[in-house]
Each structure stands twice: as C-alpha cells, then as structure tokens.
Amino acid sequence: MQSSVLLGSLTLLLVAFVSRTNTLNSDSGPWVQSTQGEPWPLPNLRRLSKSSYLLRASTFQFNVVGETCDIVVDAVERYKAIILTEAGVARVFVQGHARSSSGRDNGTTKGILTALEIHLGESCEKDGNHWPHLQMKESYTLSINETTTVAKLVAQSVWGVLRGLETFSQLLYPAGDGPNLRIKCQTIVDRPKLPHRGLLLDTSRHYLPIFDILLTLDAMSYNKMNVLHWHIVDDNSFPYQSSSYPELSAKGAYHPSMVYTLNDIQKIVDYARLRGIRIMPEFDTPGHTRSWGLAYPELLTPCYDSKGKPTGKLGPMNPINNSLYEFLRNLFAEIVQVFPDQYVHLGGDEVLFDCWKSNPEINTYMNSHNISKQYVRLEKEYITKLLKITDSLQANTIVWQEVFDNGVVMPNSTVVHVWTGFWQKELENATKAGHPVLLSACWYLDHVATGGDWLKFYRCDPLAFNGAANATSLMLGGEACMWGEFVDSNNVHSAIWPRASAAAERLWSNNKQDEGKAAQRLEEHACRMHRRGVPAKPPNGPGFCVT
C-alpha cells in the first residue's frame, strides 16, 4: 500500500504546525486574514450551518459502505494520517495562545463527529475506471448533518471519493482545546467545471528526482488537479530511458544518474493513479530535439552556412529521411505501452526553419515536390506522417497551437493546446474548426512577478472566449506550465505552489468568489500544503507560519 510521500512519517509531521497569520504592517500593504476550515478549490454548491462538531482524530473512523478497491483503501490510510497530523497541529496551536484566540465558533457544538461513511456507487474497475481518464466522474456529495454524528460521502465513481476525501480533510481546523479538531455542519454538492486540470512539469532543462515528482503529485491532489503533463525530454537532455533505443538516454541525459527508467515511470504512474491523476507524456518534435541527435544524429537536419558548407550543427528532425518515421513508429509504440493514459502530447511548437532552408538536400526535395521555399508545408508533411503513426497505435493526440495555426490537416479529435498570442481568438478558431482545446497561455508559472502574483492567474477565465457556450464539449480545460529553465529540486515546489492553485480553482469551480475572500482562503491553503510537506510560497505578502 502506497502512502503520501511525506505523510509516511507521522513523527516528523506532528511538529509541523502551519497556521499562516499575517501581521498588519502599514509599510507592507493590506492585512490578509486567514480563514479556518475553508476548502480550495471552492466547491460548486455549499450550504453552511452555524453548528459544528468536534472531531477526535484518535478515535475517528472511516467506514466504507459497499464497493471498495485499492484506490479507496490507500486513500483512507492517507487521510487518516492527514487527520492525525492536523490533531498534532491543533495541540501545538493552543500552546502559547489565549484560548479565546484559538478558533472557537460562536455557533452550537453538536458533540463529537465519530465517523465518515464512504458510499461508492460503482466498482473501481467498471468501464475502465481502474485508470484515471479524461471523462472520469469526479462529482461527490459530502454531508455533515446536525442530526447525526456520522458524516456521509457519496460518489458514483472512485475518483469522486478521492475529491470528496480531500474536501473533508480541508474542512477541519483546530478546536482550541488541545488535540481536538472542529468541523462545521454543512452540505457540499460538488463537481469539476472542466475535465482536464493539469500541471506541466519540465524534466529536460533540469532533471527532477523522483521524490520531487511524487511530491508534486501529492500537491496536485490537494488542489484537485488531475493531469501531470510530463514534458520529459527536450533540446537540453533526454532522461527517458527507452528500451527500444537505450542510447537516447545513454548519450542524451545529463548524467547516468539523471534518467527515468521504466521502473521509475511505473512507480510514478502507479502513485498518480492512486490519487486520480493521469500521467500524460510529451515527446516534442520536430523541433526541440537536439538531445535526440547526441545518440542518433542522422535523425536531425545538418545545417549549412551561406557558402553551402556544413556548419557541424544540427537543426530539427529531418523530414525527408524515411528511416526517421520507422524510428518514430518504434519509439511511440513503446511510449503508448509505458504510459497508460489515452493521450500523448506530440509538441510541434517553435519549429525554426533556418536549418531546413540552408540544407541543399531538403531544398532539392522541396523543388521536386513543387513546394519550393514553403517550409510550413514541409512541417505539415512531417506532422501528418507522425499523426498517422500515432493513429495506427490508437493513441489520442495533443499538439501545440502552431500545428493548427500552420494549417496542418488533423483529425477532429486532435486537441489543440493554446499557449501564446491572443488566446481567446486561438480558442475560438480551434473550436470552430471542431478541435478540442486546452488553455495554458495565461498560466505560465515561469513568468514570475514581484510578490504574490497568483491573482494574475486567478483572473484568467478559461471560458472567456467567443463561442465558449457552443463549445462546452470541446473546451477540455487547461494546464499551468512549470518550464524548467530556472527551477530544479531546490525551488520547483515554491515556484509552483500556491500560484498553480489559482489555476486549479478556475478549472474546478463554477463560482468565482471575490478576490479578497479568495486571498483569505489561499492563505489557509498555502499553510495546509506546508503541513503536508509542500513548501508553498506565501501568497499575499508579509506574514508567518507558526510551527
């Protein structure tokens, strides 16, 4: 049974109390008061009562009624550990604080909440539910009722159980009387606004240890994000260890210790599955492939200078090399077996034509095919052949927006991933053409502003484009992107969180809360992630976390 990567050792976590309290400082902007027991992302329907229950972590029970499976069993163990940690936090919270400031409610305390009943409507394995997938059912109903000391979580699918358990854990806060926790009586009826709520992680610019990828998956689950878009290789390094072409990583990785073996990937995929997270790989071509050429230079295009002499440099994939396509067929046949998700990202962005323009063999080929100097058409030819390969492998595909912008004829099922330019118009054009779309343009986490810049991500509405109302089945969602030029294991988590939490709420919640209240909830959520081992940055300026 796998537990959260940082929840395995309770003795370490029991000393971690983080209740962010901002100090009012006239020189440092407004004071943002943290909430208590408020969930992130915001549920879609919530009815609150003035009454509440106490909860004793040492005796509280999770009771699974009816269907269960390894996903539910593992989740129950994880959330037991989280609640025990919260109880340790509650004990520390009282120490050194006046009891009057320790989070007492003005409402009625109904007694002790003894258990959470989990009602799962269908088997984990029904209709392919063994693995998370695009249209998985993540809705749930959570009831903490004034008339019974047993809370109830009801979900049709195991994925809804996971989301409901996360919400339940976020409703708890210190009662102010030692290790007891408090939870308000309430009913939550919740479901995601959009099915694809992702985070791109780049492991080519800087290699990320497996530990950090697993911690990222934990943090994603705390934010109800469900797709890790693994940008695993790029120009800089090729850390994926292929069984078909092992020389790719042997020569393309930064160092032999900086590779992801098939066993490593299986561990990551399994860990993600237990949290309801898909692992979607990206192998970007024909550009961004310099690291491929370290092992197989014949795959890339030799570049020439203005005098027609080879420069010794290599450009994008060589689209006129017929052996390239057999290589790609073999590699992608392996990739779709290693990664169980139904989608693979093919990239296709930022293809520079200078090297193709300089290459005499490519120009001869283009002249003979009546496409002289039309290098976009050469790119189209390459992408078309690659799409035929992935289609033959029964893989659903995603491409960056340039592929669509350049007029490549693609199956309607091919997803267009919008990342730059006037993104509203890009979404409009792609959906009018019948393509599903993903949005990342306004959620680039490597674009860092001074201070807590989560608001710029929060203000991006993925449905704010013309035709969105008629493209409900085509707008799949979006992704926050953590490109790796300036992050590694030392700072990647603080660069992502809680800034990506803003995107997570916009992708989950139909209700847009005012920014002031959102800021208060994000204060609490950032410290909640701290308690669970995720070093999230302060979201709103000066303040501190009591430990």
CA angle, corner 518, sides to 516 and 519, nearest 5? 65
In 203-361, which ranges are E strands?
227-231, 278-282, 300-304, 310-317, 343-345
Q: Do residues 280 and 227 lie in contact, with contact meaning Cβ atoms separated by under 8 Å?
A: yes
C-alpha span between 80 and 10 (Å, rounded): 11
Give me the amino acid identity at 259: V
113 Cβ contact list (under 8 Å, min separation 6): 53, 54, 55, 60, 144, 149, 150, 151, 183
Helices 70-94 and 515-531: angle between axes, nearest 10 degrees: 100
Q: Tell me the angle at which helices 210-222 and 158-170 cross, rounded to the nearest 10 degrees.
A: 80
Q: Is 350 left (phi over 0), alpha (psi -120 to 50) or beta?
A: left
Return the exposure string of 481-508: e unless at least 16 CB atoms fall within 10 Å of the residue's CB, then b.
bbbbeebeeeebbebbbbbbbbbbbbbb
Residue 298: partners with Cβ closer than 8 Å, 6 or more residues away: 318, 321, 323
Residues in the chain, total:
547
Most distant CA pair in the chain: distance in Å?
A: 86
Stretch (H or E) spanning 155: strand 150-155
* Rounded Cα distance, 283 and 203, in Å: 12
Alpha helices in 406-462 (DSSP H): 423-432, 454-458
Structure-block tokens of residue 535: 């070093």
Round to whole Å and give the CA distance between 124 and 139. Answer: 15
CB neighbour list of residue 430: distance below 8 Å, 6 or more residues apart: 401, 404, 416, 418, 437, 474
Closest CA to 426 of 482, 374, 471: 471
Phi first, then psi: what are they for 210, rounded to 5°? -55, -40
Amino acid at 271: Y
Using DSSP, state whether 100 is helix, strand or coil: helix
Q: Choose, from 247, 350, 361, 485, the residue flagged as catalytic.
A: 350
Strands 475-482 and 196-202: parallel
**Cα 405 from Cα 425, distance rounded (Å):** 11
Residue 314, both tokens? 């290599």
SS3 content of the chain, % helix, strand, coil (to 5): 35, 20, 45
Would you call 350 a catalytic residue per the annotation?
A: yes
Instruction: Report the candidate in 264, 261, 239 with the shortest Cα–Cα distance to residue 249.
Output: 239
Catalytic residues: 350
